[in-house]
Amino acid sequence: MKIFKDNLVIDFMGKRHYAIVLSSLALLVSIGSLLINGLNFGIDFTGGTLIEVVYPQPVDLGDVRGALAEGDFGQTQTQHFGTSRDVLVRIAPREGRGSAQLSEDVLRVLRKHVPEVQMRRVEFVGPQVGKELTEQGGLAMIYALIGILIYIIVRFQWRFAPGAVIALIHDVLIIIGIFSLFQLDFDLTVLAALLAIIGYSLNDTIVVFDRIRENFRRIRKATPIAVVNTSINQTLSRTLMTSFTTLLVLAALFVFGGEVIHSFSMALLLGVVVGTYSSIYVASTAALALGISKADLMSVKKESGEREGRGT
């Protein structure tokens, strides 16, 4: 239904049933992959060994990774630490090999290519630390969702709140599912990206919800579906421009940022796309399913004032 002739009109809500099927399939695949494959946790969560080595001259991380891969250390994480001569190597625990033996093996492998490499320090990160990080990270997301639920109820109306939370859970589950499906490294930077995605997706959802609330009060004769469609179309240009510019920055991080933030930028890239989709289809569709209407958004103060006037 076209409300404003001069505005772009796309029947988003007319396709909401297809979107529900798509989201349901994506969630089923994500949850199934999590149950079957689990997550490929990085050293931040699993524990492991941190080895810092120093080269006599600046070294390219690609050469370091190549040398480690030749020595059966292909799953390690490497990054510059301080200068381009200092390299930090992170190795996940290996059965039957302690921290001291792993560090000696790594140093021996690196010295095959550059004999002057020196060991600066070796540290062991216990699995208990990783367990605590997992628990604290999960609690952080739960607390964030509870706070968002309360915020939406207070700012808008309770029928909006479940949709916002469902959209955020939808985004997080799908992104985690993709990391599980393709066994991408899941470390602390990815957890930070998930929390950032919650904020980004919520911002998009609130923009749409705010316009829906305004249009319910302004467009008196339109159906709820027509009002939601109009609101999404009115905020579409803003949503697309924000998403596009954000994607440009994240794409640059993904391509040029190096391996250290590769998983972080990947998670954010996925989050922007999925978050934009969910703010249009998941959150708004849930509000419609809960029966949001003009009566829910009428000013209570105005109604009480009219009753007092009639009584006098």
User: What are the tens digits of pLDDT across the range 257-281?
Assistant: 777 788 899 999 999 999 999 999 9
Given a cut of 70, is residue 312 above it in pLDDT?
no
Mean pLDDT of the chain: 83
Please state, as a whole number, how many other Cβ atoms lie within 10 Å of the Cβ of residue 274.
23
Model pLDDT, residue 270: 95
Write the DSSP assignment of the chain as a string of letters.
Answer: ----TTS----TGGGHHHHHHHHHHHHHHHHHHHHHT--EE-HHHH-EEEEEEE-SS---HHHHHHHHHHTT-TT-EEEEESEEEEEEEEE--BTTB-HHHHHHHHHHHHHTT-TT-EEEEEEEE-HHHHHHHHHHHHHHHHHHHHHHHHHHHHHS-TTTHHHHHHHHHHHHHHHHHHHHHTT-EE-HHHHHHHHHHHHHHHHHHHHHHHHHHHHHHH--SS-HHHHHHHHHHHHHHHHHHHHHHHHHHHHHHHHHS-GGGHHHHHHHHHHHHHHHHHHHTHHHHHHHHTT--GGGGS-HHHHHHHHHHHH-
User: Residue 2, Cβ neighbours under 10 Å: how many?
Assistant: 11
Contact 34, 99 (CB under 8 A): no
Average pLDDT over residues 230-252: 91
Q: What is the mean pLDDT of residues 213-225?
A: 84
pLDDT at 144 (0 to 100): 79
pLDDT in tens, 42-86: 777 777 788 889 998 988 888 888 888 888 887 777 888 778 888
- Residue 226: partners with Cβ closer than 8 Å, 6 or more residues away: 1, 3, 219
CA 134 to chain centre: 16
- CA distances for 45 relative to 48, 114, 172, 275, 309, angstroms: 9, 31, 18, 26, 64
Question: Does residue 33 surpass a pLDDT of 90?
Answer: yes
- Tell me the CA distances in angstroms from 279 to 160, 169, 257, one per residue in order: 12, 12, 28
Tens digits of per-residue pLDDT, 278-295?
Answer: 999 999 999 888 888 776
Chain segment 142-166, per-residue pLDDT in tens:
887 788 778 877 877 788 888 888 9
Mean pLDDT of all residues in 231-236: 91
Question: 37-41, 124-128, 141-145, 306-310: which range is least confident on average?
Answer: 306-310
CATH of 48-125, one of 3.30.70.3400, 1.10.565.10, 3.30.70.3040, 3.40.50.10470: 3.30.70.3400
User: What is the average pLDDT across 27-39?
Assistant: 94
pLDDT for the residue numbered 43? 75
Q: What is the mean pLDDT of residues 21-42?
A: 92
The arrangement of secondary structure in 13-39+129-301, i.e. its CATH architecture, is: Up-down Bundle (1.20)
Domain spans, the chain: 13-39+129-301, 48-125
With bands split at pLDDT 50, 70 and 90, how would you rate the model's confidence at 246? very high
Is it the case that residue 201 has pLDDT exceeding 50? yes
pLDDT for position 274: 95
| The two three-digit tokens of residue 232, written as one number | 């999404």
Q: Is the pLDDT of residue 228 over 70?
A: yes
Tell me the two tokens of residue 229. Answer: 């469609």
Q: What was the pLDDT predicted at 173?
A: 94
